[in-house]
Structure 1
Amino acid sequence: MAAGLMLAAAVAPAAGQSLQFLGTPPSAVPQAGPFAPPPSGPPRAIVPGQGGAGAREPHAVLPPSPPGKAALGVFARFSPEGPTVPRSVIWRVFADRPEASGAFPLVAESTDAAPVFFLTPGGYIVHASYGLANTAQRVVVGPVSRREGFLLPAGGLRLEADVENKAIAPQKVTFDIFEGSFLQGRTSTQPYYRSAGAGEVVLLPEGTYHVVSTYGDANAVVRADVSVQPGKLTDATMHHRAAQVMLKLVKAQGGEAQADTQWTVITPGGDTIKESIGAFPVFVLTEGDYVAIARNGGKNFSREFKVDAGHDQEVEVLVK
């Protein structure tokens, strides 16, 4: 796993402002397993080479304003002394007084990293969102043009999964991201971001998150806590101890699989893990001992089998 990983293991929107806005809403762009120790060195910056507060500030010179307007140049930083956010920011400007409906009218919007808005003097609410991180503040525009900086302490999280150091195909694994730390017993009950894909960069507010990785749709689940730092991209790899198993009901070893077979996979203790119907059901199971029960023609047939991590196999249940 990358640095920032503390060993353990449709989108829930980010917490937004309590204001009711008029117009398009800001977009919101069990079993623990073993994990490798993080490599040395900090997470790398999302924007290599970007300067901090000492670098050239955006909007050092603002363009002239049309008559009766003033220019408001806005930009965002990952941290007070950190680099500016160079892209993927959505800006929206709302009037600070609600209409009769109670909604705040949308005045202007932009997807530029550091846009300039030409506004009539008065009060406004400026909202900036970066992935699931967002902020809003009231700005008073006077007759003189001005610039305003915003703080968006956010970073990226990119997740992968493997078995025995072999990457799991992206279509076979998903990740749910929860706020808080599982190790510290402070984890949200609902995912903050659901079903993230392998290799997808999820932009999140800085903080600690609990990641649940699901390989297949049975019991191959591992967990880890990860830390997201402002302006950094953290890579984390979830290590599964599981394998893929194909089941077949046959009359003789190596024979043809019997169609219309009902399958149940249970633990030696009798806990049901997965059920299916078909001639060739495929399950991803965490390593351990199991019993496959096949029902066909009103009769039950069973076989015990063992799953070793990374060793996919075909299990035949004999009709006898």
Structure 2
Amino acid sequence: MIRRIALLFAFAVALAGSATAQELQVPVWPTQPPPSAAPAEPPAEAAPSVPLPMGHNLQLVAVMGGQTGVIRSGITWRIFRDTGDEPQLIQTSELASPSFQLDPGVYFVHATFGLASAARRLVLGASPLVETLTINAGGLVLGGFINDQAIPPDQLRFNVYVPVGGDPEGRVVVQDIKGGVLIRLPEGNYRVVSKYGDSNAITNADLRVEAGKVTEATLRHRAATVTLKLVAAPGTEALANTAFSVLTPGGDTIREAIGAFPSMTLAEGEYVAIARNGGKVYTQDFSVKSGVDRDIEVLVKDTPDPQPAGRR
């Protein structure tokens, strides 16, 4: 019995792990508002008022942990037959409250909601059964700021990790999610890593997602966008077909680009710009201050020929 449940959950983890970024981006929290008057039993655990269709003997309902309303969209149901060995998947549904016609026997019911899930073992007989599963899931909406200015959501990308042992980024559960979308996650602790732009502007935070609640978190970046130019003199036209490299003072390459004036977002700090054009190499030290976007001009500096010996 324990082995069969373990197999079911292993299969469920694989299914949940295949969720795409598009599946996780939903604009609203899909639960039905609770009734105005609370009955003696929570409505989430009560049978639906609509009777089972003729010939159907199982109806499924899912509720959010910490809430009283049923989940009305965004859920996937899977029915497994208990074969005595590995559970056999026999039916699926994406309806909010599906009904099934099943032979009497032992089954496993699994529900996924984003990356959260719940499962239960059922014994079906001749009588109809209405079963309610509680999914302990919460929502997470992420954003970013530079100083007091919000960063456009499409310029941010987030990875969400669950800790494993002493590693706060032990296992990634969500990758490359942009800002401002609702991510459905199981209740628990997470490490969020935010990247602003496509260079080294990265920050992180440890957050907790609670069942039935939406956590809105804003991560603060210290970065700015710079535009590189190779010029013959300050304020003049940038030279085309220039290859740029941006390095740390220690020599680590941060970014490379080709063009007359490429732009890049860099973390606050000190850098060295290297420009290559026409077989010659030019360098310029520069600094990045958080929230201060600016142009970085690399000057073409011609080295004078050595003077003849004895000439004053």
**Normalised by the size of structure 1, how large is the TM-score?**
0.78
How far apart are the structure 2 equivalents of 1:134 and 1:49?
21
Task: Show the counterpart of 2:222.
Answer: 241
Q: Does 1:202 align with 2:188?
A: no
The one-letter amino acid of 1:95's match is R
1:129/1:48 CA distance change after superposition, 3 Å: closer
Task: Show the counterpart of 1:222.
Answer: 203
User: Structure 1 or 2: larger helix share?
Assistant: 2
Contact persistence 1:62–1:73 (CA under 8 A): no
Contact persistence 2:81–2:87 (CA under 8 A): no
How far apart are the structure 2 equivalents of 1:77 and 1:279?
57
Task: Show the counterpart of 1:253.
Answer: 234
1:19/1:282 CA distance change after superposition, 3 Å: closer
Task: Show the counterpart of 2:3.
Answer: none
Equivalent residue for 1:79, pick from 65, 88, 107: 65
Contact persistence 1:80–1:151 (CA under 8 A): no
Q: Does 1:306 align with 2:287?
A: yes
The one-letter amino acid of 2:9's match is Q
Q: Deviations over 1:291-319 (max 9, x none)?
A: 21112222221112121111111111110
Contact persistence 1:82–1:231 (CA under 8 A): no
1:223/1:250 CA distance change after superposition, 3 Å: same
How far apart are the structure 2 equivalents of 1:124 and 1:84?
22
Q: Does 1:178 align with 2:169?
A: no
The one-letter amino acid of 1:91's match is W
**Post-superposition offset of 1:290:** 1.5
The answer to which structure, 1 or 2, has the higher relative contact order (CA under 8 A, 6+ apart) is 1
1:171 partner SS: helix
Equivalent residue for 1:89, pick from 75, 81, 104: 75
Contact persistence 1:215–1:221 (CA under 8 A): yes
Q: Deviations over 1:143-192 (max 9, x none)?
A: 001121212100111111121221212222100000139xx944243421
Task: Show the counterpart of 2:248.
Answer: 267
Q: Does 1:128 align with 2:120?
A: no
Equivalent residue for 1:280, pick from 261, 267, 270: 261
- Matched pairs, number: 282
How far apart are the structure 2 equivalents of 1:65 and 1:188?
50
**Post-superposition offset of 1:273:** 1.7
Contact persistence 1:16–1:134 (CA under 8 A): no
Contact persistence 2:187–2:211 (CA under 8 A): yes
Q: Deviations over 1:11-35 (max 9, x none)?
A: xxxx972359xxxx66636xxxxxx
Q: Does 1:18 align with 2:18?
A: no
Deviates more, 1:155-164 or 1:117-126: 117-126
Task: Show the counterpart of 1:231.
Answer: 212
1:304/1:125 CA distance change after superposition, 3 Å: same
Deviates more, 1:241-250 or 1:184-193: 184-193
| Superposition CA RMSD, Å | 3.0
How far apart are the structure 1 equivalents of 2:130 and 2:184?
26
Q: Deviations over 1:61-103 (max 9, x none)?
A: 633532xxx521211222277543332111122322289xx77
How far apart are the structure 1 equivalents of 2:265 and 2:62?
44
The one-letter amino acid of 1:193's match is V
Equivalent residue for 2:88, pick from 104, 115, 119: 104
Gaps of 5+ in 2: 1-6, 21-28, 302-312
Contact persistence 2:187–2:209 (CA under 8 A): yes
The one-letter amino acid of 2:179's match is A
Task: Show the counterpart of 1:63.
Answer: 52
Task: Show the counterpart of 1:33.
Answer: none
**Post-superposition offset of 1:223:** 0.3
The one-letter amino acid of 1:236's match is A
Identity of aligned residues (%): 40
Deviates more, 1:241-250 or 1:280-289: 280-289
Equivalent residue for 1:290, pick from 271, 277, 285: 271
* Larger Rg belongs to: 2
How far apart are the structure 2 equivalents of 1:248 and 1:175?
30
How far apart are the structure 2 equivalents of 1:189 and 1:81?
30
Contact persistence 1:134–1:152 (CA under 8 A): yes
The one-letter amino acid of 1:135's match is A
Contact persistence 1:249–1:258 (CA under 8 A): yes
